[in-house]
Chains A and B, each alone.
Chain A
Amino acid sequence: MDSRPPVLIAEGLGVARGERRLLDAVDLRLHRGEVVAVLGPNGVGKSTLLAVLAGLLPAAAGRVRLDGRVAAALQPSALARRTVRANVEAALAWWGVARPERTARADAALGLLHVEHLRDRSADTLSGGEARRVHLARALALRSDGLLLDEPFAGLDPPTRAELLHDAASVLRDPDRATLVVVHDRAEAWALADRLLVLLDGRVAAEGTPREVLEQPPTLEVAVFLGFTGRLRGADGSVRCLRTAQVALDPAGPLHGTVRRRIPEEDGVLCEVALADGSLQVRAAYPGPGIDERVRLRIDGSVRFDRRADPSVS
């Protein structure tokens, strides 16, 4: 971790719209050199948080302290009806970069995202994936101390998204910049983030490295959001949660259940299996077991939630 002071410190942030609280008591620190992902379902307040951190929305409570300048790339690509290069240069002008430096910086940033060949094209004529790359390049060109990205892969088809995610994972790493990226897809968070914040109902429900949060989600609610779809009840009222990857079909496995649902997938079948004390999801190779077929299962790891420690366990 960088020894310099955090680029951004948010303390007790709260935002309300009418009676509804969009954000409640959110604390956050962004350090130079790290990429922090804010993960949460749709409508949970992620974009609101980013807008408040960027100074675009006022906070009803709490405060944001900055050490340096922070730029935000909002979710829509929002390019002006000009050439790609002119769009990047315009952003540099807004940022206060002197005119003689703009063209070189714009070209360098477009090169980072492999869209330098588009620089003389009108932004009107870009595909969705190209526009996303230009949008990201425009944000990187500013060389801000802090960069806030709101769902930079939204609306892309899977192959385009995968390519951009691959490129973004490397270009977002900068020892002099703190980066916060809002995502709602877990895979994007795992690919990008050093640190993860799970936002649920306007609150930070979990924080840590992606591995820590995934291996030990602090609440059942967070576990469910992170894809712990299997649930087994213990005799003491506790609940064991499992991800699909932690369950396997095994003729010699200790658990047995009945297949209740089959969802065909690209590489096999996702089966929902009912057990005496709960249900699990398991992936099987095609064609997989049929509905109502009895199967045996083996599990490899789980997290346990106690009713006394977690009120959401009922």
Chain B
Amino acid sequence: MHALVEGLRQALNLVLDGDPEVWSTTLRTLRVALEATAIAVAVGLPAGCLLGLGRFRGQRAVLSLSNAAMRFPPVAVGQLLWLLMWPHSRWGSGILAGLGWLYAPNAVILAQTLLALPIVVALTAAAVQRVPAELLDQARAFGAPAWRQAGLALREARTGVLAGIIAAMGVAISAVGAILIVGTSLGQATLATAAVTRWNSGGQDARSVAYGAVLLGLFLLIAAGLTRVQHRRTPWIPGRPS
């Protein structure tokens, strides 16, 4: 208990003193996670709409796959990317080796995106599937093209869609397993989650607690903002049709 209190005290000092390493690493972590989440959202929302609203062969199989992919272990994703990006494995170079991303920030963004994407896709699909079909039919009857129908579905399902985005961001920001594999040598450009692991093993409890606290605080702020948008609704009024 004493170690925790002492760690928190030292962490607070590091944060309040504006320790440049703590702040730059934490903000870098946040930026990378936001970029990965943004890519996952840009790709995942249309894909989720297609899966949730469209009709095509293999739709159920793709839905099952995206549901399963939500639980992919970060270490496995990191290992897969490492194999794809490693230039000199015993099986030859990986097909993504030419990008030269291994141990670069882009590899981390890619790993985080791959972990966040299935969450956005699966939860978006589940959310838009619950939008009343008659509302979308009505939009179609008023001449709405497919992209406007998707926009309507996303807006109506915003509670579920935003829950997916919050969850995706949480996964992206905490995907330490994958980061350690594909971004382990980032050096000065390391991320907070990887640094926490490193500092912990090196006995630098205060520094790791500081990273954790700042990261957690910033994530809570973002999640609170998204939750506020998510739950913005009109109050129930007696007598309205159910």
- B152 near A90 with CB under 8 A, answer yes
- Tell me the bound Cα distance from A57 to B88 in angstroms: 57
CB pair B241–A72 under 8 Å, yes or no, is no
Q: Does B148 contact A (CB under 8 A)?
A: yes
10 contacts between A and B (CB under 8 A): A56-B140, A56-B141, A71-B141, A71-B143, A73-B141, A80-B156, A81-B233, A94-B139, A126-B240, A142-B143
- Nearest B residue to A125 via CB reads B237
Residue B155 interfacial (CB < 8 Å): yes
The answer to whether A80 touches B135 (Cβ under 8 A) is: yes
* Contact A94–B148 (Cβ < 8 Å): yes
Bound complex: CA A74 to CA B142 (Å): 10
Partner of A74, one of B137, B143, B148: B137
The docked-state distance in angstroms from the alpha carbon of A127 to that of B241 is 6
Question: A79 to chain B: which residues have CB within 8 Å?
Answer: 135
CB of B92 within 8 Å of the partner chain:
no
Interface residues in B207-242 by Cβ distance below 8 A to A read 233-234, 237, 239-241
Known: A78-B132, A124-B234. A142 touches B140 (CB 8 A): no
B144 in the interface, Cβ–Cβ < 8 Å? yes
**Which residues on the B side are within 8 Å of A90 (C-beta)?**
139, 152
B interface residue count range (under 10 / 10 to 19 / 20 to 34 / 35 or more)? 20 to 34
Known A80-B155, A81-B156; judge A73-B234 contact (CB<8 A): no
B141 and chain A: residue at smallest CB distance:
A72
User: Nearest residue in B to A76 (C-beta to C-beta)?
Assistant: B134
Whether A80 and B152, one on each chain, are in contact in the complex, defined by CB atoms closer than 8 angstroms, is: yes
Known: A81-B233, A127-B240. A95 touches B152 (CB 8 A): no
Contacts of B241 in A (CB 8 A): 126-128, 131
Judged by a CB distance under 8 angstroms, whether B93 is at the interface is no
When distances are taken between beta carbons in the complex, the residues of chain B under 8 Å from A95 are 142-143
Closest A residue by C-beta to B238: A125
Q: A74-B137, A78-B135, A91-B142 are in contact. List 15 more A-B contacts (CB 8 A).
A: A56-B140, A69-B143, A74-B141, A76-B132, A79-B135, A80-B135, A81-B155, A81-B156, A82-B155, A94-B142, A94-B144, A95-B142, A124-B237, A124-B240, A127-B241
The answer to whether A125 touches B234 (Cβ under 8 A) is yes
Find A56's partner among B137, B155, B240 (CB 8 Å cutoff). Answer: B137
Q: Is B59 an interface residue (CB 8 A)?
A: no
Tell me whether A94 and B239 are in contact (CB under 8 A).
no
B138: Cβ under 8 A from any A Cβ: yes
Interface residue A171 (Cβ < 8 Å from any Cβ of B): no
The answer, yes or no, to whether A244 is at the interface (CB within 8 Å) is no
Q: Would you give the shortest CB distance from B135 to chain A, in whole angstroms?
A: 4
Determine the distance from Cα of A91 to Cα of B140 in the docked complex, in whole angstroms.
Answer: 10
- A78 near B143 with CB under 8 A, answer no
Quick one: which of B130-170 are within 8 Å of A by CB?
132, 134-135, 137-145, 148, 152, 155-156
A122 CB–B CB distance under 8 Å: yes
Q: Shortest distance in angstroms between A100's beta carbon and chain B's nearest beta carbon?
A: 19
Interface string of A238-264 (1 = CB under 8 A from B): 000000000000000000000000000
Tell me which residues across on chain B come within 8 A of A198, comparing CB atoms: none
Among B138, B152, B233, the residue within 8 A (CB) of A76 is B138
